[in-house]
Amino acid sequence: MNPSPHTLPGDAAQYAAAAGLDPARLPTHVAVIMDGNGRWAESRGLNRLTGHNQGYRTLKNIVMESQKLGLKCLTVYGFSTENWRRSEEEVNGLMRLMLRAMRSEIEELIQSHIRVRISGRIDSLPPDLQEEFARAEQRTAHFSGLTFNLAINYGGRAEVVDAVRLLTQQVKEGVLRAEEIDEQTIARCLYAPDLPDPDLLIRTSGELRLSNFLLWETAYSEIYVTPIYWPDFGPEQFVAALADYQRRKRRFGAVEELD
Ligand code: FPP
């Protein structure tokens, strides 16, 4: 049974003040594996899609709180390259939910000056969803507040494969020499090369694995796992993760803490 989150009314700013969060030392980029929608629903005798619907409400809340707290970048794992293995009903339900969510949230995202990015193998998604995502990216491209990066049909290994294909093409065309390939050239060929690596990776529902999420980019991310299922993850839990991050010493392989 999932522990109760004891969520109090209030938003992240209140919790941030109560937790003594230092606004100057917030992570620039937070990545989230939003896990536990299915178990949240099943533990209540509900169907899994009801859990995803509830997960969407949580996501909306966390995006808005991230913007209010002044985070620069939030990446969430919305659908993995492995999620196609789920039942047709669940996959179709998730596609419909993403379409509905994008259509109903886009105006508020624009009003809040949030830049939307999509990372993943987008061309395998239903055409109406591809169009909605492309429109959202175009309409928000000029905003410089929070970047909300949605990983859809995303796999960390697929991302590296796609980068290798791009690099191979460049070598074939003679614009790049094989000896010039280094970490920077690879990073430039990933899906979101303009975003910094995540400082903090949050995973809900207690599982201790990366599940093929941002394998390259999380090389030095701090990892925070909470047993709470994603639909129960609120501003209080989000601030707790940020506060935990602020207590970490980041050394990036060195002996002394580095900024
Ligand atoms: C993992 O929980 C969650 C997903 C695979 C989908 C995430 C989707 C949402 C949060 C809905 C809203 C998304 C967007 C982009 C609008 P799980 O189903 O694996 O849970 P389980 O491990 O308990 O079965």
Measuring from each residue's beta carbon to the nearest atom of ligand 1, which residues come in under 6 Å?
34-39, 52, 55-56, 59, 78, 83, 97-98, 101, 150, 205, 230
Active site (annotated) includes residue 194: no
Give the chain's mean pLDDT. Answer: 94
pLDDT digits (tens, 9 = 90+) for 102-150: 999 999 999 999 999 999 999 999 999 999 999 999 999 999 999 999 9
pLDDT digits (tens, 9 = 90+) for 82-108: 999 999 999 999 999 999 999 999 999
Residue 258 has what pLDDT? Answer: 66
For ligand 1, the distance from its centroid to the CA atom of residue 37, given in whole angstroms, is 5
- For the domain made up of 27-155+199-246, give the CATH fold: Undecaprenyl pyrophosphate synthetase (3.40.1180)
pLDDT digits (tens, 9 = 90+) for 206-238: 999 999 999 999 999 999 999 999 999 999 999
Q: Measured between alpha carbons, how far is 125 from 95 in angstroms, rounded to an integer? A: 8
For ligand 1, the distance from its centroid to the CA atom of residue 87, given in whole angstroms, is 14
Catalytic residue, chosen from 35, 37, 53, 232, is: 35
Domain ranges for the chain: 27-155+199-246
- Total residue length of the chain: 259
Provide mean pLDDT across the span 38-57. 98
Active site (annotated) includes residue 83: yes
Predicted TM-score (pTM) of this structure: 0.94
The CA-based angle 53-56-59, given to 5 degrees, is 160
Residue 203 has pLDDT above 80, yes or no: yes
Q: Measured between alpha carbons, how far is 52 from 190 in angstroms, rounded to an integer? A: 28
Provide mean pLDDT across the span 160-171. 98
Residue 191 has what pLDDT? Answer: 98
Residue 39 has pLDDT above 80, yes or no: yes
Closest ligand 1 atom to the C-alpha of 77? Answer: 7
Cβ(212)–Cβ(189) below 8 Å: no
Indicate the pLDDT class of residue 4, thresholds 50, 70 and 90. very low
Residue 8 has what pLDDT? Answer: 45
Catalytic residue, chosen from 47, 83, 162, 244, is: 83
